[in-house]
Chain A
Amino acid sequence: DTEVTQTPKHLVMGMTNKKSLKCEQHMGHRAMYWYKQKAKKPPELMFVYSYEKLSINESVPSRFSPECPNSSLLNLHLHALQPEDSALYLCASSRDRGPKSPDTQYFGPGTRLTVL
């Protein structure tokens, strides 16, 4: 089973709202990722969690706040977003063998976010 699930599939929010995106995997992976993908562009890495600890933050604005409550779950809390934050948000996971031993990242279906 190589499934990563994400909820919700679609989300529309105003600039003053607070919302959360959720990601779950049951493959025993210990590395989890958030990516942002704009239309007709490749995904851009936002955050990496390794063994539930934040290991990479790609200078993402503080209005995006990641959380990894356990090894299977990854959340992305959203607050005071801007219309330019509208995008497809992808979650991925992989086995964690350290930064010098990469492994395959498996992606979820994504959450389509629209900020009004």
Chain B
Amino acid sequence: AQSVTQLDSQVPVFEEAPVELRCNYSSSVSVYLFWYVQYPNQGLQLLLKYLSGSTLVKGINGFEAEFNKSQTSFHLRKPSVHISDTAEYFCASDSSYKLIFGSGTRLLVRP
């Protein structure tokens, strides 16, 4: 069965510091991976996706992620975070219409 694991429930970081949010997946079939961000009291916004092709994927708001098949990982990175990046981040994998979500990582950016 397909599953997605986000290893950190909360990541505190100071403003302008780099950040990495970790995501690992398990799948025996083709892998389609996504990162979504959810700001308080809002829906989910797509940050970036990996369907095929280049393993380094660039998204909105300066985020990027690298698909690593050997480590079954799809970690999200940003070189310099802003206060406005404080939100919940969900990694997800697609399996026959179903998005399999990780448990989420709360990014808390402090001044």
Interface of A with B (CB < 8 Å)? 2, 4, 6, 31, 33, 40-43, 45, 48, 50, 55-56, 90, 92, 99-100, 102, 104-110, 112
Contact = CB atoms under 8 A, between A and B. Distances in A.
What's the dominant secondary structure at chain B's contact region?
strand
Given A56-B98, A112-B41, A104 B103 contact: no
Interface string B37-63: 000011111100101000000000000
A112 B42 CA distance: 10
B102 A42 contact: yes
A55 B97 contact: yes
B3 interface: no
A41 B102 CA distance: 9
Contacts of A99: 96-97
A61 B45 CA distance: 28
Contact of A109 (B32, B42, B46, B96): B42
A41 B104 CA distance: 7
Contacts of A33: 97
A110 B49 CA distance: 22
| Count class of interface residues, chain B | 20 to 34
B102 to A, nearest CB: 7
B95 A107 contact: no
A104 B43 contact: no
